Structure 1
């Protein structure tokens, strides 16, 4: 039977408390800690010394962390010596991006923000909370209200391990759930939503299909795996450059004239776009894109954009514009 000395137990609990609060970014004053635990300042100094030894021993802990005395703050704090920890500025920036994304329900968003802000020191925590308070109060997530963390993780494993996935999927335009067996190749976030990019098994389609994760009503990651030659591997970054509004279709090259105010905005929206000339004070632009989504974006540019090639696509857009005009007659 092991007998634990009460003094040793009290010291252990004290050191754990100090360690935990230092990790949260708190600045600890020796006199205040002595008063808190009812011990001498020398006892706290010994605790600090033990923790310093622990942080210094690289076999125990991250070598980039030091326990220092901050003369300005009159207390001890942890100092991160390199860029491996988030700064207060980075925490605020990420918090803003998360809130603007609107992609997670309130429970998951609050969970993310809470854990993120925990990394900041107490003074900075207060500042960050105040800066995002209004956005957090008025946070308006997208309507599906589904939990996403688990499905994102599970499907990412299926992608990495090249495992077939069977899903029950409900399209926005249908009330009937469809079952699909897929070869998952990527997960992407775009414009409020997370998407699974996958090829349909036993299909003649030579381009991937996009499935919104919140519309997947059930999924099963199967034991059998598919093969994907390295030369044919799916690259999320390259796919993202060519897709608009997450609508796929056949990959094609388009050419158009643009006479709007900001050609930079066009180049930002279409990463594959290149300016190949100018005519009548308009830019001639070429880009490689997937068909359906790009049509929506091109139409959004109104009279400032004219499609030149391919002719079949130009005619398709003209027909769409004609139908739009009929809505106003």
Structure 2
């Protein structure tokens, strides 16, 4: 049966519509952008009129101007608008909004709760006394003409912090779409209902166009590996690489993330002392925690330092590489290699630096990407390997003919 518009409301930015389908009754809310008419949000469905009213109240529909009411629902809408709100419910609502970092506009709150501005003022004074006991204050911002709770640092995640976390997750592309959305929904309850809708709208395009690098359930692997590390248990899995699959039993040390992929940092169970190497999650199959326990007898390994030396997660013995670098790419050098030192001042636009890395394979990739802006000074072995690679590249381009 065709949906019927029961009530249409507007404010400066949005249009809110309560729709319904009679017999059996189904109600839901649709929120539209007032400027371009695009659908911003559609609520869950309610089967009872009381549920529909609670749904409207969650959107604070009394702060909107009524544009249209379906005639057969006029009296029901009037009764819903005039419904008396218990003072305790009003106080709890204001308390929750302040705690979630929401600004309280006195006139809008008075209109929503259908009381005078003076009563809202008295409510705010009571809340000030309550919050003062926990060293928090409800301040009035004269410039914005709003009340807000101060001294919230460290008490809850702010909107900016939640946005930062979500933007990093969407940019990293390391989790599948369902995992990212699940984290978003767990972070949003730190915000008010109105701010939740705002953040969902802000992140909608990121979620719609999200293309994860790995589609496996990375969070499941993270939980399994972390549990094995805490319980000191050997991990068993099949590792797929270059078309082959080999069984491995390893001692897990830690986890890492790089360039859209999660890694297990571990070493083979029976290998002599060595630093752990990275194993890509997307190549690990049949991961299991075995009953076998392990004991770390070798010196403590600083996993964080090892990760800083592992450009593109390449492994190998620790090395110190000396480079001559154009000043203009120092920023890119630091992004790739956190452990770099600048022992000399710049000369004619060039800087001599020292970089700590694991093996040569990773840094070779970076050096070749920088073309004529980097020169290897030491060790001689790496300088020779770069020279040979450049010679092979030149031979490739000098002999081959471009495709038509």
Pick the TM interval, shorter chain.
0.7 to 0.9
Change in Cα spacing, 1:135 to 1:81, as seen in structure 2 (3 Å) is: closer
In the TM superposition, residue 56 of structure 1 has moved relative to its aligned partner by 11
Q: Which residue of 2 aligns with 1:121?
A: 192
**2:341 aligned residue (274, 283, 299):** 274
CA contact (8 A) 2:237 2:249 kept: no
CA contact (8 A) 2:137 2:149 kept: yes
In the TM superposition, residue 261 of structure 1 has moved relative to its aligned partner by 1.2
Unaligned runs of 5+ in 1: 1-14, 30-50
Change in Cα spacing, 1:154 to 1:77, as seen in structure 2 (3 Å) is: farther
Q: Which residue of 1 aligns with 2:286?
A: 218
Structure-2 separation of matches of 1:22 and 1:261:
48
Structure-1 separation of matches of 2:209 and 2:394:
38
Q: How does 1:29-178 map to 2 (within 5 A)?
A: 81-142=152-213, 144-159=214-229, 161=230, 163-176=232-245, 178=246
Change in Cα spacing, 1:23 to 1:179, as seen in structure 2 (3 Å) is: farther
In the TM superposition, residue 265 of structure 1 has moved relative to its aligned partner by 2.6
Q: Which residue of 2 aligns with 1:286?
A: 354
Q: Per the alignment, in what secondary structure is the counterpart of residue 84 of structure 1?
A: coil
Q: Per the alignment, in what secondary structure is the counterpart of residue 296 of structure 2?
A: coil
Structure-2 separation of matches of 1:214 and 1:80:
44
Q: Which residue of 2 aligns with 1:10?
A: none
Q: Which residue of 1 aligns with 2:369?
A: 300
Q: Which residue of 2 aligns with 1:250?
A: 317
In the TM superposition, residue 91 of structure 1 has moved relative to its aligned partner by 1.0
Change in Cα spacing, 1:246 to 1:78, as seen in structure 2 (3 Å) is: same
Which structure's CA Rg is the greater one? Answer: 2
Structure-2 separation of matches of 1:17 and 1:179:
57
Total equivalences in the alignment: 304
Q: Which residue of 1 aligns with 2:18?
A: none
CA contact (8 A) 2:322 2:354 kept: yes
In the TM superposition, residue 20 of structure 1 has moved relative to its aligned partner by 8.9
Q: Which residue of 2 aligns with 1:5?
A: none
Unaligned runs of 5+ in 2: 1-90, 106-126, 400-404
**1:199 aligned residue (254, 259, 267):** 267
In the TM superposition, residue 148 of structure 1 has moved relative to its aligned partner by 1.4
| Structure having greater relative contact order (Cα 8 Å, sep ≥ 6) | 1
CA contact (8 A) 1:252 1:288 kept: yes
Structure-1 separation of matches of 2:132 and 2:226:
37
Structure-1 separation of matches of 2:187 and 2:252:
30
CA contact (8 A) 1:169 1:216 kept: yes
Q: Per the alignment, in what secondary structure is the counterpart of residue 314 of structure 2?
A: coil
In the TM superposition, residue 57 of structure 1 has moved relative to its aligned partner by 11
Change in Cα spacing, 1:122 to 1:25, as seen in structure 2 (3 Å) is: farther
Q: Per the alignment, in what secondary structure is the counterpart of residue 343 of structure 2?
A: strand
CA contact (8 A) 1:164 1:223 kept: yes
Q: Per the alignment, in what secondary structure is the counterpart of residue 312 of structure 1?
A: helix
Q: TM-score, normalised by structure 1?
A: 0.74
Change in Cα spacing, 1:234 to 1:27, as seen in structure 2 (3 Å) is: same
Q: Which residue of 2 aligns with 1:34?
A: none
Structure-1 separation of matches of 2:139 and 2:257:
41
In the TM superposition, residue 102 of structure 1 has moved relative to its aligned partner by 0.6
CA contact (8 A) 1:26 1:122 kept: no
CA contact (8 A) 2:240 2:284 kept: no
CA contact (8 A) 1:163 1:221 kept: no
In the TM superposition, residue 110 of structure 1 has moved relative to its aligned partner by 0.9
Q: CA deviation digits over 1:193-245, x for unaligned, max 9? A: 1100011122247232211122211122223322225x722223211221100
Q: Which moved more, 1:132-141 or 1:274-283?
A: 274-283
Q: Which residue of 1 aligns with 2:248?
A: 180
In the TM superposition, residue 303 of structure 1 has moved relative to its aligned partner by 1.0
In the TM superposition, residue 105 of structure 1 has moved relative to its aligned partner by 0.8
